Amino acid sequence: MGLTLSTAPSAEPVTLAEAKEWLRVDTGDTSQDNVLAILIKDAREVVEEYLGRSLIDQTWTWEMNSEDMKDPIDIPRPPIQSITSLTEYDEASGSETTNVTTSTNYQLIEGFRLVQRNDGWQINRKERAGKLIYVAGYGAAGSNIPQPIKTAILRKIATDFENREDRLAGTIVSDLSDESKKKLAKYRYYGI
């Protein structure tokens, strides 16, 4: 069904100071700070999309259909830090009711997989069968991000900083360099 970002990251994995150092921009030169802030956010989003992962902690809401809720549930955008709630929708009585599944009925394993325990959850309809709200990311600070991921972000920032003009039509430019993709390969999540 639909995956929605409910709460964006409160920080970026690369600081303005780190980006300036990588680009060899004097720390006292603030003339490019706004541009760099945009490039840092964009680079994080590109790397997150490529990896299929959340980097800095962020809250996601996932409206699931019955296929998504088959045990086990592989949760998109890992690593999952915590499950806020798992809600089941039920139409058995003819009107929509919700049941919040208690955490005693599921377990998070491998940082992305939700498995049933005890009574688990009930799937009583095909579409919009449940909703999962969760926090995903490596942590609240950039220091928690693996260095190869941070390096890929810095490389993307550098490429975009040096190539800010419009690209020629027909020119193929990759969002990430082949070298970055190679270093990121072991971090890619191929789940949902």
pLDDT digits (tens, 9 = 90+) for 24-53: 999 999 999 999 999 999 999 999 999 999
Residue 166: per-residue pLDDT:
59
Label residue 27 left, alpha or beta by phi (over 0 means left) and psi (-120 to 50 means alpha): alpha
Same domain, yes or no, for 94 and 105? yes
Give a yes or no: residue 121 inside a domain.
Answer: yes
One-letter-per-residue 3-state SS of 124-184: CCCCCCEEEEEEECCECCHHHCCHHHHHHHHHHHHHHHHCCCCCCCCCCCCCCCHHHHHHH
What is residue 172's predicted lDDT score, i.e. its pLDDT?
Answer: 47
> Are 128 and 77 members of one domain?
yes
Same-domain check for residues 88 and 51? no
Q: Residue 183's domain is classified under what CATH number?
A: 1.10.3230
Q: Cα–Cα distance between 131 and 1 in angstroms, integer?
A: 10
Taking a C-beta distance cutoff of 8 angstroms, is the pair 158, 99 a contact? no
pLDDT over 60 (residue 70): yes
Mean confidence (pLDDT) of the chain: 88
Distance CA 145, CA 21 (A): 18
For 151-180, the pLDDT digits (tens) are 999 999 999 998 876 555 444 455 899 999
Does residue 44 share a domain with residue 25? yes
Residue type, 132: L
Give residue 105's pLDDT: 79
Expressed as residue numbers, the domain containing 102 is 58-136
CA angle at residue 39 from 176 to 51, to 5 degrees?
Answer: 40
Number of domains in the chain: 2
Report the candidate in 154, 157, 146 with the shortest Cα–Cα distance to residue 184.
Answer: 146
User: Are 126 and 68 contained in the same domain?
Assistant: yes
| Domain-embedded: residue 163 | yes
Query: Looking at the structure, do residues 92 and 34 belong to the same domain, yes or no?
Result: no
Rounded to whole angstroms, the Cα distance separating 157 from 28 reads 19
pLDDT reported for residue 192: 59
pLDDT in tens, 98-132: 777 777 778 889 889 999 887 777 777 788 888 99
